[in-house]
Amino acid sequence: MKSEISYAQKLSQFQLQTEPDPYRPIEELFKCQIWNLDAITLPMLNGWYVHDRQPLTRLDNGVVYGSLRAAMQQYPDIIQKCHEAFLQTEKDELTTLNESQYTDGIFLYIPDEVKMKDPFQIISIINSQDDLLVQNRHVIYVGQGAEMSLIQCDDSVRFGHTFLNVVTEVFLSERAQLHYYKTENKEKESQLFNHLYVHQQGYTHFHSNIVTFNAGYIRNNIIVNLSEPFADAQLYGLYLVDKSQQCDNHIKVHHRATDCTSKQLYKGIMDDEAMAGFHGHVVVHPDAQRTAAFQTNRNILLTDKARVNTTPFLEIYADDVQCSHGATVGQLDDEALFYLRSRGISEHNARKLLMFAFANEIVKFVEIEALQDRLGDMVQRRLNGELTICDQCMLSDADNRDFVFPIDPSKI
């Protein structure tokens, strides 16, 4: 009850935009581009899907995407199937609030055996000076043997204080594959709560990679259900926070069937008085024999005032399993610093190089080459103090300045 009262008090100062803004091309407000990437853009403005009298689009291969509100009228069976898959999944009070009060969201349906070459990109934009409460709900359905990639990013043009409460439901049918990438670069006045629920049938593959560059407060909740044999989930994350920023990652993976695998690798760098949290929980249910589950969290604290709370946890009720978990919290390696300095590299550049090598391990798991290159560049800028919400959007092509990292890691 205390948490409910606390959230009620927090949300009382925010207002919900109950109608979409008059239509205007999203490019007039914001141009988001990853170089050399062709993506199908799904824009959201102040909590509403942006469209010109066409809330849903159907491609020749049967793929459907667009407004969730419109899809509830035309595709209720698909949405109901997704909802039913998560009826028994634990949910917090913000997820429950979202279920009853969400304004709009993205509906994305990939038919059986369709393999999408181009990724989809959800761009969530805030363009308001009001203190907005934004509640979106996204439903992603991937049919049997289908494959797709999804990029999701958050940004602001003009903003007051914002409270974003976003729920994404992912349903992977048998043999389906989804690569999910999320980038977060929000202003210090924002509070962003992401809830990602994933239901995997047999022989499915789910890959997620969430990178946080700036935040007021961000909490990423991920719950994965491996419900049938030979399902696989690979979960990666990186958080780079400084000043008084805070980022929490809460991950729970349920192994409910035999022969399933999961891997979690999250890394963070905290500077100034920043705080971060990693709370990983793997549950191996009684029937989930021959489970393989691995969980790792690594952190670097650059000051005495930076803080991280890491709690990897295994809960095992089967006896034929391979499971491990571990966490590290420390500073930059003195021996590695000495090695680099002995080769003529200044301490300043050596520290940046070590931080980049530490962070770039997560970026390398991104399988879209253009996105991987852009994220690597963004990590370099963030570590150099240039990537802030004040002077550039992390995915905008508005910044065309050349940037050269002090040391090329590939040359060492």
Average confidence (pLDDT) over 305-321: 95
**C-alpha to C-alpha distance for 201 and 227, rounded to whole angstroms:** 6
Q: Are 77 and 109 in contact (CB under 8 A)?
A: no
Q: pLDDT at position 161, please? A: 80
**C-alpha to C-alpha distance for 380 and 370, rounded to whole angstroms:** 16
Query: 6-20, 59-73, 90-104, 357-371 — which is least confidently predicted?
Result: 6-20
Pairing between strand 190-200 and 162-172?
Answer: parallel
Question: Does position 403 have pLDDT exceeding 60, yes or no?
Answer: no
Beta bridge partners of 7: none
Q: 206 vs 349, which has greater pLDDT?
A: 206
Q: Could you give the angle at the alpha carbon of 213 between the alpha carbons of 401 and 310, nearest 5°? A: 155
Domain boundaries defined on the chain: 2-331, 332-412
Q: pLDDT at position 215, please? A: 76
Question: Does position 377 have pLDDT exceeding 80, yes or no?
Answer: yes
Structure tokens at 374: 């852009």
Question: For residue range 136-162, what is the model confidence (pLDDT) as tens digits?
Answer: 999 999 999 999 999 998 766 655 688
Q: pLDDT at position 105, please? A: 95
Question: Does position 373 have pLDDT exceeding 80, yes or no?
Answer: yes
Question: Does position 8 have pLDDT exceeding 70, yes or no?
Answer: no
Q: pLDDT at position 9, please? A: 62
Q: pLDDT at position 6, please? A: 58
Structure tokens at 118: 């181009």
Question: Does position 240 have pLDDT exceeding 80, yes or no?
Answer: yes
Rg (CA), the chain: 21
Question: Does position 370 have pLDDT exceeding 80, yes or no?
Answer: yes
pTM: predicted TM-score of the whole model, two decimal places: 0.89
Q: pLDDT at position 401, please? A: 38
Question: For residue range 279-294, what is the model confidence (pLDDT) as tens digits?
Answer: 999 999 999 999 999 9
- Residue 92 pLDDT level (bands cut at 50, 70, 90): confident
Q: 366 vs 410, which has greater pLDDT?
A: 366
Nearest to 368 by CA among 39, 30, 40, 110: 39
Question: Does position 296 have pLDDT exceeding 80, yes or no?
Answer: yes
User: With 0-12 CB in 10 A as exposed, 13-18 as middle and 19+ as buried, what is 149?
Assistant: buried
Q: 91 vs 392, which has greater pLDDT?
A: 91
Q: pLDDT at position 395, please? A: 32
Average confidence (pLDDT) over 240-256: 95
Reported as type and span, the H/E element at residue 62 is none
Pairing between strand 64-67 and 56-58?
Answer: antiparallel
Would you give the DSSP letter of residue 23? P
